[in-house]
Structure 1
């Protein structure tokens, strides 16, 4: 299996493959609307706008597993992202990133790049994974790593 084989659902319930993003540099993030890190949506949007014309895409996956900080429906999440942070990058349907119902994408990401001290579990919202144009997971970032601190790594891949 590779990252491009992972099926995902859009906010409106449509099936999609990550293969649609083949050849792009990806930043994959589990997000939440009611988290202390939620203002990172602005930094993620800034990165997306800065680099999208060079083949960079932010892919957001809302998750309600950490402190129930993403309780809304898909339409509520989409409205929040659009009205509060003017998000224009793709935000997908809610998923689980840990436990028995871990989405296959996150199972793959965690197996490719573990966290601090080799832990695989996602610790909190806004954990980020940087994927190169060939689909290799290059780096995993902690929730506290601000999007603007990733510019050097992104530019190396573009």
Structure 2
């Protein structure tokens, strides 16, 4: 008995001929290319959650780009106050265990360096233990009684979305939260770039050596 095999069945059992294989290969390649092009052309939307951190400023920014600074009296601070000078900035509080040594450092630095070459900036902050809770006038009087050549900024946060612009700029080079009063100690060079960060356990000699090298 002979088995009947239809022409269609016989055709499907035959191996693909080279021309047909090449045709399928070209079709697959073209399909993949079109798919890749469609993916590239499709706009990519990234949804980000809200952040408690302030936007990181460009690393090309300097102190001269900070046009919204205000002092403890609410007066604008011109970027010219920092032009061509080495700047040492530190967060302060009036009722902290580091208050005496912190202001003694300010006094030493402002007595040692000429105001033509150096600016010391105090940034009052009440975020740690509510130890800077006085009025602006009280903060100013307390600070100047201990270091009379300070530039005292308005009271501000030093972490999060409302952190002081000087601190924000410094963190663009030296990221990381300030953990306590007098813990954010930053040195900026004459061009307004942050060049060093120290904590509240740093020695005065370390900070002075960095300032000396920047002058």
| TM-score, with structure 2 as normaliser | 0.66
Q: Does 1:133 pair with 2:195? A: no
Deviation per residue, 1:115-137 (Å, 9 max, x gap): xxxxx211111120000001111
CA distance change for structure 1 residues 32 and 18 in 2, over 3 Å: closer, same or farther?
farther
* Structure 2 Cα separation of the partners of residues 113 and 151 of structure 1: 19
CA distance change for structure 1 residues 147 and 5 in 2, over 3 Å: closer, same or farther?
same
Unaligned runs of 5+ in 2: 1-60
Q: Does 1:48 pair with 2:110? A: yes
Give the number of the structure with larger relative contact order, counting CA–CA contacts within 8 Å between residues 6 or more apart. 1
2:206 to 127, 131, 149: 149
1:72 to 134, 137, 144: 134
Q: How many pairs align?
A: 152
* Structure 2 Cα separation of the partners of residues 27 and 129 of structure 1: 6
* Structure 2 Cα separation of the partners of residues 78 and 20 of structure 1: 18
Once superposed, what is the RMSD of the aligned Cα atoms? 1.6
Unaligned runs of 5+ in 1: 115-119
Q: Give 1:40-119 correspondences, 5 Å limit.
A: 40-53=102-115, 55-83=117-145, 85-114=146-175
Residue 76 of structure 1 aligns to a residue whose secondary structure is helix
| TM-score, with structure 1 as normaliser | 0.88
Deviation per residue, 1:65-87 (Å, 9 max, x gap): 1111100111001111223x143
Runs of 4+ in structure 1 off by over 6 angstroms are none
Deviation per residue, 1:76-106 (Å, 9 max, x gap): 01111223x1432211210111122222322
The structure carrying a bigger strand percent of its residues is 1
